[in-house]
Amino acid sequence: MTDTFVPPAVPSYKLRRGRMGLVRREAMDAHFSRFQVPEGPLDLEALFGPGVPVVLEIGFGTGSSTLSMAAADPATGVLAADVHTPGVGNLVLALVEGGLENVRVLNGDGEELLRSRIPSGSLAGVRVYFPDPWPKARHHKRRLVTPRFAALVADRLAPGGLLHCATDWEPYAEQMAAVLRAEPGLELQNDGAVERPAWRPVTKYEARGLANGHRVADFLARRPA
């Protein structure tokens, strides 16, 4: 795979310390290899089966919304990436308990996965729900949804594929709208934010933001068919 996309100068995340309980640790030890995204360039058909649409979720937090959407749509393969190991353990445990087989998990950088290991034109969707807003001006360079990221997503999506972003931080919502509106490889629905689609559950982080009076903005941008 030829990759013309340069990695960002700084990562869009900051690793947090977090303790993993015994049950989640045991689930990781016993089952992570079963759900783990394999090393190297990905063959999505080999991973999920011929003709199976595949979506990538970057930063799934606790994994509860990932699990809910995967259970509701078992015919779609899900690549779920997060850098925080306790959340990964939580998702692996939930996949085992739920008996789901359509999710593969990366304990690592989802943007790097997208950039260096996923072929062009191969994804049915990319999901970015409530990424770190990096509210201080000096940290804006760390935000995930940038022109560089939008161009990368547009390249990796199959024709008709959908990028779905959501945030509860209004200045970041304004940036998302401007970035997606300007990317020639994507068509932003409604020319801005839309109501939360029924298929996206309310996340734990989102519920906390709503309780604090934040407004949530969803953005749907599709690669033209």
Catalytic residue, chosen from 73, 82, 109, 132, is 132
Instruction: Please check whether residue 163 is in contact with residue 218, taking contact to mean a CB–CB distance below 8 angstroms.
Output: no
Closest CA to 169 of 200, 201, 210, 197: 210
DSSP-derived secondary structure letter, 142:
G
* Sign of the Cα pseudo-torsion (96, 64, 155, 74, in order): positive
Burial status of residue 148 (CB atoms within 10 A of its CB: 0-12, 13-18, 19 or more): middle
**What element of type H or E holds 49?**
none
* Residue positions counted in the chain: 225
Q: Residues 222, 6, 88, CA angle at the centre, nearest 5°? A: 70
In angstroms, the CA 83 to CA 86 distance is: 9
**What element of type H or E holds 55?**
strand 54-58
Catalytic residue status for 168: no
Give the residue numbers annotated as catalytic, written as ranges: 132
